[in-house]
Amino acid sequence: MSPRMSRRDFVKTSAAAGVLAAGPAAAQAPAVASRSARPVVVSSANGNQYKNGGAKTCVQEAFDRMVKGEDVLDALIAGVNIVELDPLDDSVGYGGLPNGEGVVQLDASCMHGPRKRAGAVACLEGVRMPSKVAQAVMDQTDHHLLVGQGAQDFARQVGFAIEDDLNTENSRQQWLEWKRRLDPSRWLDPQKRSEESWRVTRELMAEGRIDPSHVYGTINCNGVNAKGEVCGVTTTSGLAWKIPGRVGDSPILGAGLYVDGDVGAAGSTGRGEANLYGLSSYLIVENMRRGMSPKDAGMDALKRVKAATIEKRLLNSKGEPRFYVKFYIVNRKGEYAGVGMYARQDGKDQTFAVCTEKGPETLNLEGLLGEAASE
C-alpha cells in the first residue's frame, strides 16, 4: 500500500494541486471556467487497496488508461472492475456481502460528463461487474435505471453471463453467522429489528469478521483528464444483510453519484439512506457550481446529513450520527477532496484514494467531526 499522508500534508497537496491545475493567472477564475485540468482519479480507499491478483489498483489502472487517451468513463470502469472482481473486497461485486436472504444483490451507476449521459442498475443478481451493465444501460437504452429481474434480463440480452450465485465462501459464511445470531422475534418490530441487526453487525466487526467500512460497502471512483472531461462511477453490494429489494444511494443519480461535465463529480460510500434523503452528491456538485472548493462543498453536505439525523436509533452516545458517510469529489480543474463524517473511526484514520502523475496514494480524509464516539 502507498504511504499515507497526514491531514496537513493532504491539505497542502490539494491546495498545490489547485494552483498547478489552474496556473497563477487562472487561479482567480471560478471553477467552471477552466478548460484544462490536472488529470486525477479519486476514489474510496478500497480503490488503492485491491488488485485482484494483478499489478495495479483501481485508481492506478484508471489513471494510466485516462492519460493514454482512453475515454474517462471507460478508464474509471476498468478501474472499478478490478475491485468488483476481487473476492477479497466483500463490499462490491463478486463476493459482496449478501442481503438478508443470503443473495448478493448489486447496485451501480455511471455518469459521463461530456456526453451528458447516465446509466444505472439496482438489485441486480448474477453479474459480477454491475458497473458494466450500468454503462450498457447508458449506451444502449433511452433509460437511466433498470432494476431487479428487468436489469438481469437486459444484461443477459446484451451479452453478460448470468451466474446463479455471486457469494464466495467468505460472504456466505459471514451471512450464515449473522443469521445464526439473530433473534427471530426481531421481525415483529421494525425498531427492534434495526437495533438487533446493528448489534449483531457491531459484534461481527468487533470480532474482526467483517471490515467496518464494508458494512455499507461500495467503491466510488471519479476522474478528470487533461481536457477537463469529468466522469464518475459507483458500484456496490449495498448494505450488508439488507432487506431483499432495498436500493441504496449508489444507483440513484444525485445520491451516490453525480457528475456535471461543466462543474465536477461527487460520489459517496457509507449509509445510503442518508444520501438518498439529502441527494448529497447533487448538492456537492451544485455547491461547486456556485464556486465552493471540493472540500467546502463536501463539508456542507456532511453538515446537512448531520442536521437531518435526529432519530435516536441513528445517534451515538454523543448525539452524533452513529454511521459513516464519505464523499470523493473532483472539480473539472482537477482539484479534489475526500471528506467524511469522522476523521477517525474505530480507532483508525479514515482514508481515500487518489492517483495523479505522482502515482497512487492513500490519503487521510477531512472529517466534519473528529473521532467517532463508541456506541
Cβ proximity to ligand GLY, 115 vs 202, nearer residue: 202
Cβ proximity to ligand GLY, 216 vs 241, nearer residue: 216
What 3-state class would DSSP assign to 181? Answer: helix
Q: Give the phi and the psi of residue 127 in degrees, each rounded to 5.
A: -120, 125
Place of cell 471560478: 30
Minimum distance of ligand GLY from residue 256's CB (angstroms) = 6
Minimum distance of ligand GLY from residue 181's CB (angstroms) = 22
DSSP letters for 318-345: TSSBSS-EEEEEEETTS-EEEEEEEEEE
Cβ proximity to ligand GLY, 95 vs 261, nearer residue: 95
**39/67 Cα distance (integer angstroms):** 7
Minimum distance of ligand GLY from residue 279's CB (angstroms) = 13
**238/100 Cα distance (integer angstroms):** 12
Minimum distance of ligand GLY from residue 116's CB (angstroms) = 24
Task: Please tell me which residue in 13, 57, 201, 218 is annotated as part of the active site.
Answer: 218
Minimum distance of ligand GLY from residue 356's CB (angstroms) = 26
| Closest of 65, 109, 143, 364 to residue 221, by C-alpha | 109
Contacts of 331 (CB under 8 A, 6+ apart): 31, 224, 230, 263, 264, 288, 293, 294
- What residues make contact with ligand GLY under the rule CB under 6 A? 216-218, 236, 238-239, 248-250, 256, 269-272
Cβ proximity to ligand GLY, 2 vs 234, nearer residue: 234
Asked if 110 and 194 touch (Cβ cutoff 8 Å), the reply is no
Asked if 89 and 214 touch (Cβ cutoff 8 Å), the reply is yes
- Helix intervals (H) in the chain: 7-26, 58-67, 72-85, 130-140, 148-157, 169-181, 190-206, 272-278, 280-289, 294-308
Cβ proximity to ligand GLY, 236 vs 331, nearer residue: 236
Cβ proximity to ligand GLY, 21 vs 166, nearer residue: 166
Asked if 167 and 102 touch (Cβ cutoff 8 Å), the reply is yes
HSE, CB side, 13 Å, CA atoms: give it for residue 305.
36
* Known catalytic membership, residue 362: no
Minimum distance of ligand GLY from residue 89's CB (angstroms) = 13
Residues identified as active-site? 218
